[in-house]
């Protein structure tokens, strides 16, 4: 596959989250993780909050299942799209525009979830700790935060930079075109940062690209023991990190990470006071 010229990549500015209609065409029906989040909600014994809820791929399914659930996302266009879809069912106020690093919800939750690599958009240690502390403050005593993240194993870092990688495709029923997502990545293994330039192509019935939409985004990956330290710094009482939605131990670098972190029943996390007081 031919590489994208550097001068062209530098011009890419918009976020893919500024185009929620295209995002929905590609991801609205994605359901690989839905059974897990439905199980989490069903066992929560209290309300649930989704961080990075976007256009409602997960949140809508939770609400349809009868869960008491709210959502937040920093992208106003994504939340507007969610509200347009949720309005007919009276759920348009179940999601708000807010930053996961600093939000204030009126409720306290039994579970806070962050699916589909949402936490990777916290790109500095300060961002990560702020987000985790905010989550902890919004949990009921004994409540849990659950993060889903891809594990950044050796195979990922060894992939060549600057080569478009096919991510997903779907049919646009309004035009009959195939919508394809291609991700051109530049990775910094020291900073654990991935810069992505995303092309969404509209491909006609002849296989030709009829339109092309360019976006840019970035993510920071974390490792198991790094994440445990972040939980400790944020004041969580205990945690466990699993290797997939089936609850197996994390042993394979190709696994997905499912991390649970609980707020102490007392509301005071192990090691929390000393770490926080040191600024």
136 and 245, same domain (yes or no): yes
Q: Is residue 256 part of a domain?
A: yes
Report whether 18 contacts 75 (CB < 8 A).
yes
Dist CA 85 CA 87 (whole Å): 6
Please indicate, yes or no, if residue 77 is contained in any of the structural domains: yes
* Residue 246 covered by a domain: yes
Instruction: Report how far residue 135's alpha carbon sits from residue 209's, in angstroms, rounded to the nearest whole number.
Output: 43
Q: In this structure, are 108 and 15 located in the same domain?
A: no
Question: Is residue 120 assigned to a domain?
Answer: yes
* Domain coverage including residue 263: 31-151+223-277
d(C-alpha 275, C-alpha 279), whole Å = 7
Q: Do 103 and 162 have their domain in common?
A: no
The enclosing domain of 54 has a CATH number of 3.40.50.150
Same domain, 47 and 182: no
Residue 127 lies in a domain: yes
Total domains present in the chain:
2
| pLDDT attached to residue 5 | 42
Q: Give residue 269's pLDDT.
A: 52
Q: In angstroms, what CA-CA distances link 163 with 5, 14, 44? A: 10, 20, 42
Count CA within 13 A, CB hemisphere, residue 270.
10
Identify whether residues 56 and 180 lie together within a single domain: no
Question: Is residue 26, in this structure, part of any structural domain at all?
Answer: no
Given 189, 204, 220, the domain boundary residue is: 220
Q: Kindly state whether residues 53 and 114 are assigned to the same domain.
A: yes
pLDDT at 13 (0 to 100): 75
The answer to the question of residue 1 being in a domain is no
Task: Please indicate, yes or no, if residue 212 is contained in any of the structural domains.
Answer: yes
pLDDT, residue 266, reads 78
pLDDT, one tens digit for every residue, the chain (279 residues): 444 443 344 444 799 999 999 999 999 999 999 999 999 999 999 999 999 999 999 999 999 999 999 999 999 999 999 999 999 999 999 999 999 999 999 999 999 999 999 999 999 999 999 999 999 999 999 999 999 999 999 999 999 999 999 999 999 999 999 999 999 999 999 999 999 999 999 999 999 999 999 999 999 999 999 999 999 999 999 999 999 999 999 999 999 999 999 999 975 554 333 333 222
- Residues 42, 112: one domain? yes
Q: Are residues 268 and 159 in the same domain?
A: no
Look at residue 274 in the predicted model and tell me its pLDDT: 30
Residue 15 sits in the same domain as residue 112:
no
Q: What is d(CA 131, CA 247) in angstroms, rounded to the nearest whole number?
A: 24
Whether residue 171 sits in one domain with residue 141: no
Do 118 and 197 lie in a common domain?
A: no
């Amino acid at each position: 596959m031919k590489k994208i010229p550097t001068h062209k990549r530098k011009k890419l500015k918009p976020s893919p989250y500024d185009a929620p209609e295209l995002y929905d065409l590609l991801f609205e029906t994605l359901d690989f993780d839905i059974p897990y989040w439905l199980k989490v909600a069903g066992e929560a014994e209290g309300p649930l909050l989704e961080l990075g809820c976007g256009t409602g791929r997960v949140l809508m399914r939770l609400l349809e299942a009868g869960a008491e659930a709210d959502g937040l996302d920093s992208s106003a266009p994504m939340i507007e799209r969610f509200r347009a879809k949720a309005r007919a069912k009276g759920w348009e106020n179940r999601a708000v525009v807010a930053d996961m690093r600093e939000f204030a919800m009126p409720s306290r939750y039994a579970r806070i979830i962050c699916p589909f690599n949402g936490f990777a958009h916290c790109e500095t240690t300060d961002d990560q700790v702020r987000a985790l502390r905010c989550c902890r403050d919004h949990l009921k005593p004994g409540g849990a935060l659950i993060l889903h993240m891809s594990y950044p194993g050796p195979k990922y870092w060894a992939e060549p930079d600057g080569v478009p990688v096919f991510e997903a495709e779907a049919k646009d029923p309004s035009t009959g075109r195939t919508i394809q997502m291609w991700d051109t990545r530049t990775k910094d293994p020291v900073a654990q940062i991935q810069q992505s330039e995303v092309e969404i192509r509209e491909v006609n019935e002849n296989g030709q690209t009829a339109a092309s939409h360019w976006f840019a985004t970035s993510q920071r990956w974390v490792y198991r023991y790094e994440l445990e330290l972040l939980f400790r710094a944020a004041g969580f009482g205990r945690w466990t990190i699993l290797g997939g939605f089936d609850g197996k131990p994390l042993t394979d670098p190709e696994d997905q990470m499912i991390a649970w972190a609980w707020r102490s029943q007392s509301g005071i996390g192990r090691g929390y006071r000393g770490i926080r007081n040191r600024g």
